[in-house]
């Protein structure tokens, strides 16, 4: 009897664990039970045309929401994981930003970090970049009026959005298959999915999925799948979104007293050398401007490197202590070089770095080739000189 009540008492913590686990799992389970939403069918051309029409008229609905960016490119572990606004930091892990959109010329993008925040505030002709860690407000000059306007509509010269969409589809159709995928739920909203599948066999990209809100046709999510993986290698999309006008104070920015006020032509994001996939960037080490070889998805970036490139990278940290990414770039480069496999062929010899999405070849004659392609494509590009 007594032992029986004792056993019952232990049921309480078990129940508590069950309740907590239930709350944690509630989101995915509810989503799984609800299944995929079903929206009225639309073809890819109709979808793109309708989306382009909304974009061109500048009538995107006012909205605010949280954007989450997740990258799992399979890079070697990054010992220095940079901040949320550094290009290096964005290459691994998950990052969050908040966005408020109040019209073509009113936008606020906020990147929170622990005890730190960066803001991009666009209000009419005023564009500010605020860095709370540096206590610096940068007024961005020369920004086109209405810098917040999504300027991504291609073929603006054509007459109607529908024609533009058809033309875009035809242009892309040579190397890309465009289809409408299953409807998805993004940020709790039913969304159309457009799936772009590369036709080039040499591409490491399996497909790119674009999700458009079913009601407003606002793009809600972009997912990039590498071949042979079930999870997206790169994903950026809304975690939560509301289509209501944001509070006006979001767009009112005045530099706080005591802050440094600077002027620039571009936001000083991620100061220091550019650190993208080991590309040396234009930081004055004598690297020639990168060229692009090939077309479509098989595009390969070729950079001629100065001599003693490795020593350069390793020593970069000592030379430029000011940049906050420099050590990250140096350690990333070292990690990459250590992970590189020596390869050789008719094109010469060098070292190959493979990640899920990007392959890079560092040839012994001082060229760096990189692209979202298989090594064979890089070898061919290397042989072509």
Partner 1 sequence: MSSHETLAHAAPLRAAGPARAAARLLASETALTFRRPRHLAMLAVLAVVPVLIGVAVRIAGADGDAGPIIARVAGNGLVLAFASLSAMLPLILPLAVSVVAGDAVAGEASQGTLRYLLTAPAGRGRLLALKYANVLIFCLAACALVAVSALVAGLALFPTGPVTLLSGTTVPYAEGLLRAGLAVLYAAAGMAALGALALAFSTLTENPIGAIAASVVLVVVSQVLAVIPQLSALRPFLLASWWNAFDGVLRAPMDTGRMGTGLLVFAGYAAVSGAFAWARFTSRDVTS
**Residue 16 lies near partner 1 (rule: CB under 8 A):** yes
Q: How far apart are CA 38 and CA 46, in angstroms?
A: 17
Binding test (CB under 8 A) with partner 1, winner from 247, 261, 288, 292? 247
Q: How far is the CB of 184 from partner 1 (least distance, A)?
A: 22
Residue among 275 and 294 whose Cβ is closer to partner 1: 275
Asked if 250 is part of the footprint of partner 1 (rule: CB under 8 A), the reply reads: yes
In this complex, which beta carbon is closest to partner 1, that of residue 100 or of residue 379? 100
Distance CA 233, CA 356 (A): 7
211: exposed, middle or buried (C-beta count within 10 Å: 0-12, 13-18, 19+)? buried
Tell whether residue 264 is a contact of partner 1 (CB under 8 A).
no
- Is the separation of the CB atoms in 183 and 39 below 8 Å? yes
Region of 19-27, 191-199, 200-208, 371-379 interacting with partner 1 (CB under 8 A)? 19-27
Sign of CA dihedral 364, 297, 238, 235: negative
Q: Which residues contact 349 (CB under 8 A, 6 or more apart)?
A: 342, 343, 363, 364
The verdict on 30 binding partner 1 (CB under 8 A) reads: no
Q: What is the contact mask toward partner 1 in residues 101 to 140, using x (rule: CB under 8 A)?
A: ---------x-x-xxxx-x----------x-xxxx-x---
Min dist CB 377 to partner 1, Å, is 30
Please list, in sequence order, all residues whose beta carbon lies within 8 angstroms of the beta carbon of residue 16, skipping any fewer than 6 positions away: none
Report if residue 31 touches partner 1, rule: CB under 8 A: no
Distance CA 278, CA 316 (A): 13
3-state secondary structure of 185: strand
Query: Alpha-carbon distance 147 to 251, whole Å?
Result: 13
Of 20 and 179, nearer to partner 1 (C-beta) is: 20
Would you tell me which residues interact with partner 1 (CB under 8 A)? Answer: 6, 9-10, 12-13, 15-17, 19-20, 23-24, 66, 77-78, 81, 92-94, 110, 112, 114-117, 119, 130, 132-135, 137, 240, 247, 249-250, 253, 255-259
């Amino acid at each position: 009897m007594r032992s029986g009540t004792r056993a019952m008492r232990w049921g309480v913590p078990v129940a508590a664990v069950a309740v907590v686990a239930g709350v944690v799992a509630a989101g995915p389970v509810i989503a799984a039970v609800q299944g995929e939403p079903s929206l009225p069918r639309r073809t890819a051309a109709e979808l793109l045309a309708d989306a382009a029409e909304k974009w061109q008229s500048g009538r995107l609905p006012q909205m605010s929401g949280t954007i989450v960016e997740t990258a799992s490119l399979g890079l070697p572990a990054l010992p220095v994981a940079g901040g949320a606004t550094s290009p290096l930091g964005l290459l691994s892990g998950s990052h969050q930003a908040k966005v408020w959109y109040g019209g073509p010329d009113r936008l606020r993008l906020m990147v929170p970090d622990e005890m730190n925040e960066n803001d991009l505030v666009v209000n009419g002709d005023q564009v500010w970049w605020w860095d709370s860690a540096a206590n610096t407000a940068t007024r961005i000059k020369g920004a086109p009026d209405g810098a917040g306007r999504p300027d991504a509509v291609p073929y603006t010269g054509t007459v109607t959005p529908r024609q533009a969409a058809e033309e875009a589809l035809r242009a892309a159709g040579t190397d890309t298959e465009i289809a409408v995928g299953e409807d998805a739920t993004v940020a709790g909203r039913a969304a159309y999915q457009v799936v772009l599948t590369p036709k080039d066999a040499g591409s490491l990209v399996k497909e790119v999925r674009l999700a458009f809100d079913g009601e407003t046709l606002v793009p809600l999510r972009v997912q990039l799948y590498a071949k042979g993986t079930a999870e997206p290698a790169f994903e950026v999309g809304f975690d939560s979104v509301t289509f209501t006008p944001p509070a006006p104070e979001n767009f009112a920015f005045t530099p706080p007293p005591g802050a440094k006020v600077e002027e620039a032509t571009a936001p000083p994001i991620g100061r220091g050398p550019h650190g993208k996939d080991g590309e040396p960037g234009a930081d004055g080490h004598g690297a020639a401007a990168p060229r692009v070889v090939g077309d479509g998805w098989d595009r390969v970036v070729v950079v001629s490197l100065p001599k003693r490139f490795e020593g350069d990278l390793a020593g970069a940290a000592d030379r430029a202590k000011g940049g906050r990414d420099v050590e990250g770039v140096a350690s990333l480069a070292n990690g990459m070089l250590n992970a590189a496999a020596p390869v050789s062929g008719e094109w010469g010899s060098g070292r190959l770095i493979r990640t899920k999405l990007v392959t890079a070849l560092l040839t012994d004659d001082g060229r760096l080739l990189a692209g979202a392609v298989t090594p064979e494509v890089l070898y061919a590009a290397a042989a072509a000189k």
